[in-house]
Amino acid sequence: MSFNLNCNGSNGRVTISNNPYSNSNGLTEYRGTWQGCNVTFWSYNSGYASIVIYINDYAIDNVEVSSYKLSDFGSVTKAASSAKMSVWNPKSKAVMGFATSATVSP
């Protein structure tokens, strides 16, 4: 399965396996890639979805989309309900958070 992800102007296809990586207690996890980065997609039975992009050892981008399931991404365009980049600062030993924006589309 694949869909387009535009995250703060970085645009590309997310490719995710249709086979769940894990499934328990209303949460199904899928794994894939985007722009050469590893991606984890969590789909909740409630219809909430979270896409986590592992940029490197110090930075991740978390995109949350409400009222969505993995199957919706092949046919519906929607802006993220929230998106945040978290970056570990090795000098201050703190995680810095930056608001981002994202849109998913077929």
Instruction: Give the DSSP per-residue string, 13-65.
Output: EEEE-SS-SEEETTEEEEEEEETTEEEEEEEETTS-EEEEEE-SSSEEEEEEE
The pLDDT tens digits of the residues spanning 63-99 come to 999 888 777 877 889 899 888 999 999 899 999 999 8
Q: pLDDT tens, 10-63? A: 999 999 998 999 999 999 999 999 999 999 999 998 888 899 999 999 999 999
And the tokens for 52? 């986590």
Find the CATH number of the domain harbouring 79: 2.40.128.30
Give the model's pLDDT for residue 70: 74
User: What was the pLDDT predicted at 1?
Assistant: 86
> Residue 82's beta-bridge partner residues?
64
* 24 Cβ contact list (under 8 Å, min separation 6): none
Specify the number of domains making up the chain: 1
Q: Look up the pTM and report it.
A: 0.86
6 lies in which domain range? 2-105
